[in-house]
Structure 1
Amino acid sequence: MAWGESAFSGSGPGRQWLSLGLGVAVLVGLGSGVALATHPPSANAQTMSVAGSSASGPDAGGQAVSQAVRPVVSITPDATTPLNPTRPIVVTVAQGTAKAVTVKTPNGKTVSGTLDAAGTTWTSKGDLAYGTTYAVGVDTLDPSGAPGHQDLSVSTVDPRVQAYPSFIPPPGQTTVGVGQPVVVRFNHPVKDRVAAQKALSVTSSAGQTGSWYWLSDTEAHYRPQTYWTANSTITLKASMFGVDLGGGTFGETDRTETIHVHDAWVAKADGATEQMQIFDNGALVKTMPISLGSPGHPSHVGPHVISDKQPSITMDSCTYGVCQGQPGYYKEQVDLDERISDDGEFVHSAPWSVASQGGQNVSHGCVNLSPANAQWFFDHFGIGDVVEITNSGGPQLPLTDTYGDWELTWAQWLKGSAV
């Protein structure tokens, strides 16, 4: 059989010419002692052989010629996937090692990181920034030790908006009462409440646990089953940076607050007896006559939490719809005021109603006290302390009226959690 026929099949002038040429080449090779390899080297091979003068095989007497192997540098995630700024930039090198990795922000600031002992993986340290493209430069060494350099880039998530978590009580409030709910308010709506709530945590030095209740897409409250333990410490953490809150909204920053709870000051105002009992850590320390809301303006019943206190304010009935010229209108300076609802209810000094205090409810919903009793109350009660009103003839304080949190049973409260 002819050599050309054994090496190729098919017909046609081109194939016959190639067969003939190969046959001639083999005959010449046999005469001159040159051997030809019939398969090319693998694409992954690092060396190849050039035939020598022996006919004993392609490797006999061959001379090795190196082919350079280019290191393969990659970034996790790849350039098509925006990186969450809380995740590290990870640079890996295959078919070689990294001698040095430099990552810089657009303004030239260097991002710190560490290269592992093998020289194949570099990992950034610390949080990155939103909406930033980082330039990645990698100095490499191939298997033979030859140096090289590769430039890549990676970009972080660019939020549509960033939601800032505000705290109540604010950080400037050094101490609160046992009724103070922990409140987080966002300046943009949160669509993914589950993600947001998982990024929030509250711990108590007394070991009390509680639950979150979402009043809206921008406000969540936290309270335990019963009032906070007196003289305990509460720690609120909002690990919101990098959290996807849905709809292109991400958490703006992480925040932490420490809240100190003072003695348990609880006032029990009874509209049936027109008396208010004052308890300090469960012990009755004072009783004072009061006047609650009149039948036409009854005070809300239920636990109220003091949200503000001022030595003097101007009370204007027009703020809740009764304006000048209408029956029941008033506008006057009132002293020693402690707000217990957003409906205009306060505990305050009321010298004009002293004659009715202890015998008749005549106010517009506030807890009226004599000037002396109001001063004592103002000196002892503050933000987060509790005023429980009963038998006023009024409706229950609404949940959304500042701090109506304690109006709900524990079973009802748990239903407001997103998790």
Structure 2
Amino acid sequence: MIRIAGLGLVALVLAACSGQSETVGAALPVGVAEAAGTATTPGVPAATVAFLPAGGEQLSPKDPIVVKASGGTLQAVAVTNPQTGNGVKGDLSPDKTTWTSKDRLRYGSTYQVVATAVNQAGAASEQRAEVHTLKPSGVATPALFQPASSDVGVGLIIGLKFDHDITDKATAEKSFKVTSSPDQGGSWYWVSKREAHFRPKDYWKAGSTVKLETTTFGMPIGGEVYGGQDVSATYKVHDSWIAKADGTTHQIKAFHNGQLVKTAPTSMGKTADTPPRGPTPTFNGTHTVLGKEEHKIMDSCTYGVCEGDPGYYSAPENWNVRISNDGEYLHENLKTVGVQGSANVSNGCLNMNTENAKWFFDNFNVGDVVEVTNSGGPQLTINNGHGDWAISWTAWQAGSALHG
């Protein structure tokens, strides 16, 4: 809805996201303008003012408020949100005929606009209006799946999590932009109605710079829901660090930029049905490092075996490198040193002695890769850390709303 009140010969056109135009104010008769007290000069028309771009009754907050003068120049433009008391900044064109707001507008807000134009004879005329931005039924605001970082591994998975369901995934996905240097391509994969991940076909190249940006703000993305505040992040990929852990050989090997630099015996999760708790095999598949803790209390109550239950434990562990959300770590475990390299007896973690555990702790960081094979366990899933790499490239592309 727009309300206008004018002094002088003016026209008002309001913009909205629909792209349609509607004239909502007409030129006032000269007699009315004069009665209102506007100075005129015989034979010199008053300057007119219009608000653009043209549209319906409500303005998308991603579009600017534009004020244009005809038959003269703009002397002053003031745009204020009376609900917040904040003014809106804008830029005046070199010829002083166009003013364009540069601050981001708000959803469901009313902006008071006052524009004063001066005609060729120096006579001023003023136009006042209220501009209303659209009020959607919901605003879906994205958050980064992986925070921006200048130090991540080649297994980096980036993505977005929204706080509302996205029913028009294709439209939303078009507003996501990922660039990498060197260029490696990639594709989006919708994990759920609210979450989408991005990765290339193969691991990122060491030394890459990856940038994620959204332009979803102000965009309808289905069900009368519009995009919320945009986000962006830049990631710097460090050297390639990839560990390969084999449940048959009970060895874990570390490769730095493709070169083998470390081999260590390990004990993975047990596959035998050993009382009081059954099999606890390590998940197969590509894991990435999610975080590290020098010292941590490993408590079985985190997976439902609490104090007083058979098999309960609460033990301090050192040099912990987390590789899944399900409690899997590379870490020191002195109780299993005797079988490290020969048997899998852990509760799912990759046990090592002190020296080897600390070496992995010192060298492996967030985004570095740990590939687990022959563990006897199920495949690591996409919602259990970064199981994204286990999905074939064909299936991954099919998970895109644009390419599936």
Alignment check: 8 A CA contact 1:274 1:361 kept: yes
What SS does structure 1 have at the residue aligned with 2:326? coil
Aligned 1:237-386 pairs, distance under 5 A: 237-295=213-271, 296-386=279-369
CA RMSD after TM alignment = 2.9
Tell me which residue corresponds to 2:5.
none
Q: What's the counterpart of residue 103 of structure 1?
A: 78
Amino acid across the alignment from 1:401: N
Give the conservation status (yes or no) of the 8 Å contact 1:174–1:259: yes
User: What is the alpha-carbon distance in structure 1 between the residues aligned to residue 359 and residue 225 of structure 2?
Assistant: 48
Shift of 1:160: 4.2
Q: What is the distance in 2 between the residues matched to 1:258 and 1:120?
A: 39
Distance change >3 Å, CA 386–CA 146, structure 1 → 2: closer
Aligned partner (choices 113, 127, 135) of residue 150 of structure 1: 127
Evaluate the alpha carbon distance shift between residue 411 and residue 331 of structure 1 in structure 2; reply closer, same or farther with a 3 A threshold: same
Q: Which of the pair has more CA radius of gyration?
A: 1
Report if aligned partners of 2:74, 2:97 keep a CA contact under 8 Å in 1.
no
Contact 1:98 1:138 in 2 (8 A): no
Q: 1:136·1:153 contact (CA, 8 Å) conserved in 2?
A: yes
- Match for 1:221: what amino acid? H
Give % identity: 43
**How is 1:158-197 mapped onto 2 (pairs within 5 angstroms)?**
158-171=135-148, 173-197=149-173
Counterpart CA distance in 1 for 2:318 and 2:122 is 84
Distance in 1 (alpha carbons) for counterparts of 2:370 and 2:55 = 59
Residues 1:128 and 2:105 aligned together = yes
Q: CA deviation at 1:192?
A: 2.7
Aligned to 1:54: none
Match for 2:143: what amino acid?
S
The one-letter code matched in structure 2 to 1:285 is V
Distance 1:271 1:88, change over 3 A: same
For 1:375 and 1:143, locate their aligned partners in 2 and report how far apart those are by CA, in whole Å: 79
Q: Report the CA distance between 1:199 and its aligned residue.
A: 2.0
Residues paired across the two proteins, number? 356
> 1:123 and 1:260, CA in 2 relative to 1: closer, same or farther beyond 3 A?
closer
**Structure 2: distance between partners of 1:70 and 1:148:** 7
Structure 2 CA distance, aligned partners of 1:78 and 1:226? Answer: 47
Q: Which amino acid aligns with 1:123?
A: T
CA distance in 1 between partners of 2:354 and 2:253 (Å)? 17
* Paired residue type of 1:388: E
- In structure 2, C-alpha distance between the alignment counterparts of 1:322 and 1:108, rounded to whole Å: 55
8 Å Cα contact 2:281-2:376 kept in structure 1: yes
**Distance in 2 between residues matched to 1:102 and 1:238, nearest whole Å:** 31
Aligned counterpart, 1:8: none
1:390 and 1:232 mapped to 2: Cα distance?
Answer: 27
- Give the residue type in structure 2 aligned to 1:102: V
Q: Is the 8 A contact 2:159 2:196 kept in 1?
A: yes
* Alignment partner, residue 37 of structure 2: none
CA 1:370/1:137 → structure 2, altered by over 3 Å: closer, same or farther?
same
Amino acid in structure 1 at the alignment position of 2:61: P
Shift of residue 140, structure 1, vs aligned partner? 4.1
Aligned counterparts of 1:337 and 1:412: Cα–Cα separation in 2: 33
1:159 positional shift: 4.0
One-letter amino acid of the counterpart of residue 374, structure 2: N
Counterpart check, 1:138 vs 2:120: no
SS at match of 1:411: helix
Q: Does residue 68 of structure 2 align to residue 85 of structure 1?
A: no
Judged with a 3 Å threshold, the aligned counterparts in structure 2 of structure 1 residues 110 and 205 are, in CA distance, closer, same or farther, namely closer
Q: Go from structure 1 to structure 2 and tell me whether the alpha carbon gap of 1:146 and 1:180 turns closer, same or farther (over 3 Å shift).
A: closer
Q: 1:344 to 1:69 in 2, by over 3 A?
A: same
Q: Give the residue type in structure 1 aligned to 2:87.
A: K
Q: Look up the SS of the partner of 2:171 in the other structure.
A: helix
Task: Give the direction of change, closer, same or farther, for the CA distance of 1:81–1:288 in structure 2 (3 Å limit).
Answer: same
Cα offsets for 1:339-376 (capped at 9, x unmatched)? 11112211110100011111111111111111111011
